[in-house]
Amino acid sequence: MNKMMFWAVCGAALFFGCSESPHTAGTTENESTINWASLNDHPVQTADIPSFWLGKCLNDGLLKEAMPEAYLVRDSLGNDLVMVPRVNDYCEVKAKLAYVLSGDTLTVSYDEIIMATKCVCYSDHWFYLAPEYMDIKYFRFDGVVYEIINTEKEDSL
């Protein structure tokens, strides 16, 4: 009798495991989103093309993660600054900065840290900008590249 019960349970599990319904055992909703037909739509691989391709955007929507933004602003004294929002950095730091301009990207890094706290937090960072850097399009700090949004130009539009 135990063998009969064992085989009945195995048969039932096999039956429900092979069911077409996405809400039954053996099939998950994640598996149902895979478009296996797209395997025939990929580009032909050649020696000078990398061996991968991208699938279509899901749900016919464009889910583009935009480049983070930094803002070119002018303070009340006429100083030009780049404001980078929500940077994960020391809670307080005093440092000399190194500026490196490469094309349209200005990279700023800590050259010499004079004092820094042990704690870290998210805070807005404000960097004074020399006149020769006013035409930058990108700003890099702590390994992150930000697209510069010129608030002066935005106001004049």
Tell me the pLDDT tens digit for each residue of 110-140.
Answer: 999 999 999 999 999 999 999 999 999 999 9
Measured CA to CA, the distance from residue 49 to residue 43 in angstroms comes to: 10
pLDDT of residue 16: 52
Pairing of strands 120-128, 105-116: unpaired
Question: Which is more confident, 53 or 94?
Answer: 94
Measured CA to CA, the distance from residue 39 to residue 55 in angstroms comes to: 9
**Does the pLDDT of residue 31 top 50, yes or no?**
no
**Does the pLDDT of residue 28 top 70, yes or no?**
no
Q: What predicted TM-score, i.e. pTM, was given to this entire model?
A: 0.57
Measured CA to CA, the distance from residue 36 to residue 58 in angstroms comes to: 14
Q: Residue 14 corresponds to which tokens in the numbers above?
A: 């096999």
The most confident of the ranges 6-10, 21-25, 53-57, 88-92 is 88-92
Domain boundaries, the chain: 2-60, 69-156
pLDDT of residue 32: 45
